[in-house]
């Protein structure tokens, strides 16, 4: 039964916040059956883009795993079993770089709805639109800053939008894709050129020619350029263009919440409606003020805040022991940004765990509870939730430093996360609300399968990831 009083309170709030329910409205994003998207899908799944040909984009961003990898911290190159994704994926112990644990220091965010970001990509925003025009994913001709150039400058090679600019970087990261073998010692520009040559079947890239190599036909078809040469068509720019188009086609916004906002009052439960009030209302009004950061139809302000989620894993080389991660501070050098990370979207968040920039929370409940009182969350943090291979040294101490920064920011009166008291009912309602932010397509194998190559799709280099889980079941 619809509680009319409750329903009208939520509707009033929705109106006052100016929500439309649809963060994709008015955007120009490709559809999955676009030929360039189809090419991008094949590239996204191909290990040819891994320096030593053992890892692909999809190894950490699989559609069945919520567009991520279902791990706290990813395992990229030199996995024990290359095509095993998610829990059970470990580094091989062979070689000087590996001790079995994950070498990538941050949680892999979802590629879902990537085309809806307008300001920054990455946890620290190091790919950044200088124009920040709403609705265009950075495609406003005002420049995109990337890690190849200094903070605040436009990278002349960034490409047209944030998604394509981001796609230039995973292949240059030794731990993620570049590896320590064939491409060792090369610059970012060289890795990209060599990978284009490898895919294109021209030049003399390290590792020699791919066999088979049917990519030229695929590029000619996708870019509608019959007779075009590999040197012209198979450039790193076109590779990233296709990959970005594939990622941008992953628009998953058909949520029960959207249906509700757009008029269907029975689309979400009374509990979820009460949860919406908790989510949107300020602390003074009895809410938890989540929307002060997780704002708008995309549930993020794309800004950076110190919330001090546990710092686990190897870190980014920051701090006394080198196993801290200073987050946004690494880019801006601004003291206020120390330990600040980008506000994640909450669309599909039920499916994109583990949560936090280092994946410290293995349940959504605890990721949410953390916000209510970070110190209590750290004091009660269950370290056994982490896989034993994750480096444990200094985690408690490092996280305490982040919490101290949060407390100091509060004391100085800077806008900061506040402690909030919620009773059990309110907390359960809040969780029920968050569950309405997930698009059912992503849990439906037939629906999500449109973004996964199948037996009917060509496998141009025989290097496609045929993803399996730890029980050897296909994903």
Distance, CA of 383 to CA of 392 (rounded, Å): 9
Does residue 52 interact with ligand HEC by CB under 6 A? no
Q: How many CA atoms lie within 13 A of 387 on its CB side?
A: 21
Does residue 106 interact with ligand HEC by CB under 6 A? yes
- Minimum Å gap between C-beta 108 and ligand HEC is 4
* Structural contact between residues 429 and 272, judged by C-beta atoms closer than 8 angstroms: yes
Does residue 108 interact with ligand HEC by CB under 6 A? yes
Q: Which of 42, 89, 91, 123 is close enough to bind ligand HEC by CB under 6 A? A: 123
- Minimum Å gap between C-beta 305 and ligand HEC is 4
Q: Which of 74, 200, 313, 460 is close enough to bind ligand HEC by CB under 6 A? A: 74
At residue 315, what are phi and psi to the nearest 5 degrees?
A: 75, 180
Distance, CA of 305 to CA of 348 (rounded, Å): 21
Element containing residue 67 per DSSP (H, E)? none
Q: Which of positions 170-199 make contact with ligand HEC (CB under 6 A)?
A: 170-171, 176-177
Distance, CA of 116 to CA of 162 (rounded, Å): 10
Distance, CA of 209 to CA of 439 (rounded, Å): 42
- Minimum Å gap between C-beta 185 and ligand HEC is 20
Does residue 115 interact with ligand HEC by CB under 6 A? no
DSSP state string for 148-189 = TS-TT---TTS-SSHHHHHTTSGGG-IIIIITTTTTTT--HH
Q: Greatest CA span in the chain, whole angstroms?
A: 70
User: Between residues 227 and 464, which has the closer beta carbon with respect to ligand HEC?
Assistant: 464
Does residue 63 interact with ligand HEC by CB under 6 A? no
Does residue 381 interact with ligand HEC by CB under 6 A? no
Does residue 356 interact with ligand HEC by CB under 6 A? yes
- In 9-106, which ranges are E strands? none
Q: Which of 42, 62, 178, 294 is close enough to bind ligand HEC by CB under 6 A? A: 294
> Where do we find the tokens 């953390």?
370
Helical ranges in 230-310 per DSSP H: 230-233, 236-248, 256-261, 270-280
User: Between residues 5 and 424, which has the closer beta carbon with respect to ligand HEC?
Assistant: 424
Distance, CA of 305 to CA of 342 (rounded, Å): 7
Distance, CA of 116 to CA of 346 (rounded, Å): 12
Region binding ligand HEC by CB under 6 A among candidate stretches 9-17, 131-139, 346-354, 435-443? 346-354
Q: Which of 158, 165, 167, 245 is close enough to bind ligand HEC by CB under 6 A? A: 167
Q: Which of 54, 78, 218, 289 is close enough to bind ligand HEC by CB under 6 A? A: 289
Distance, CA of 378 to CA of 397 (rounded, Å): 10
Region binding ligand HEC by CB under 6 A among candidate stretches 101-109, 131-139, 221-229, 389-397? 101-109
User: Between residues 65 and 288, which has the closer beta carbon with respect to ligand HEC?
Assistant: 288
DSSP state string for 272-289 = HHHHHHHHHS-TTTTS--
Element containing residue 342 per DSSP (H, E)? strand 341-342
Does residue 60 interact with ligand HEC by CB under 6 A? yes
Q: Which of 29, 251, 367, 465 is close enough to bind ligand HEC by CB under 6 A? A: 367
User: Between residues 44 and 260, which has the closer beta carbon with respect to ligand HEC?
Assistant: 44
Helical ranges in 32-152 per DSSP H: 35-44
Q: Which of 307, 312, 406, 465 is close enough to bind ligand HEC by CB under 6 A? A: 307
Region binding ligand HEC by CB under 6 A among candidate stretches 24-32, 194-202, 286-294, 462-470? 286-294
Cβ neighbors of 400 (< 8 A, separation 6 or more) are 378
Number of residues in contact with ligand HEC under rule CB under 6 A: 49
Q: Which of 46, 59, 146, 197 is close enough to bind ligand HEC by CB under 6 A? A: 59
* Structural contact between residues 127 and 120, judged by C-beta atoms closer than 8 angstroms: yes
CA dihedral of 327, 329, 330, 334, whole degrees rounded to 10: 170
User: Between residues 343 and 362, which has the closer beta carbon with respect to ligand HEC?
Assistant: 343
Q: Which of 236, 355, 381, 451 is close enough to bind ligand HEC by CB under 6 A? A: 355
Element containing residue 305 per DSSP (H, E)? strand 304-305
The DSSP call for residue 124 is T
Task: Annotate each residue in 252-281 with x if it binds ligand HEC (CB under 6 A) or - if it does not, as one string.
Answer: ------------------------------
Question: Which residues contribute to the site for ligand HEC (CB under 6 A)?
Answer: 49, 55, 57, 59-61, 74, 76, 104, 106, 108-109, 111, 114, 121-123, 166-167, 170-171, 176-177, 243, 247, 288-290, 292-294, 305, 307, 309, 341, 343-344, 346, 349, 352, 355-357, 364, 367-368, 371, 417, 430
């Amino acid at each position: 039964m619809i509680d009319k009083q409750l329903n009208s309170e939520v509707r009033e709030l929705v109106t006052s916040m100016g929500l439309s329910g649809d963060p994709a409205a008015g955007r120009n994003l490709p559809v999955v059956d676009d030929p360039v998207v189809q090419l991008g899908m094949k590239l996204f799944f191909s290990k040819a883009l891994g320096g030593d040909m053992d890892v692909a984009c999809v190894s950490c961003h699989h559609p069945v795993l919520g567009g991520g990898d279902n791990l706290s911290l990813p395992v990229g190159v030199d996995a024990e079993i290359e095509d095993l994704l998610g829990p059970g994926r470990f580094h091989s112990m062979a070689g000087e770089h590996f001790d079995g644990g994950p070498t990538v220091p941050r949680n892999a965010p979802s590629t879902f709805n990537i085309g809806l970001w307008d300001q920054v990509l990455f946890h620290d925003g190091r790919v950044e639109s200088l124009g920040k025009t709403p609705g265009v994913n950075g495609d406003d001709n005002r420049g995109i800053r990337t890690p190849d150039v200094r903070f605040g400058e436009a990278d002349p090679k960034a490409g047209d939008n944030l998604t394509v600019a981001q796609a230039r970087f995973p292949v240059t990261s030794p731990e993620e894709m570049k590896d320590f073998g064939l491409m060792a010692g090369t610059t970012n520009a060289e890795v990209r050129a060599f990978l284009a040559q490898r895919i294109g079947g021209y030049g003399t890239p390290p590792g020699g020619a791919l066999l088979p190599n049917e990519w030229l036909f695929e590029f000619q078809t996708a870019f509608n350029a019959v007779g075009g040469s590999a040197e012209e068509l198979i450039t790193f720019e076109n590779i990233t263009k296709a990959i970005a188009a594939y990622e941008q086609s992953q628009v998953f916004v058909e949520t029960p919440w959207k249906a509700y906002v757009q008029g269907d009052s029975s689309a979400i439960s009374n509990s979820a409606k009460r949860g919406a009030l908790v989510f949107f209302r300020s602390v003074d009004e009895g809410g938890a003020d989540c929307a002060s950061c997780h704002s708008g139809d995309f549930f993020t302000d794309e800004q950076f805040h110190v919330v001090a989620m546990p710092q686990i894993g190897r870190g980014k080389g920051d701090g006394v022991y080198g196993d801290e991660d200073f987050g946004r501070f690494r880019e801006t050098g601004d003291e206020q940004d120390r330990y600040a990370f980008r506000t994640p979207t909450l669309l599909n968040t039920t499916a994109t765990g583990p949560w936090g920039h280092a994946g410290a929370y293995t349940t959504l409940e605890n990721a949410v509870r953390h916000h209510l009182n970070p110190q209590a969350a750290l004091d009660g943090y269950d370290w056994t939730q982490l896989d034993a291979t994750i480096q444990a040294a200094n985690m408690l101490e490092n996280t305490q430093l982040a919490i101290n920064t949060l407390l100091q920011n509060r004391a100085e009166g800077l806008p900061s996360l506040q402690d909030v008291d919620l009773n059990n009912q309110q907390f359960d309602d809040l969780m029920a609300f968050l569950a309405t932010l997930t698009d059912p397509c992503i849990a439906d194998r037939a629906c999500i399968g449109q973004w996964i190559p199948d037996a009917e799709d060509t496998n141009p280099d025989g290097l496609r990831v045929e993803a399996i889980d730890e029980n050897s079941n296909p994903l």
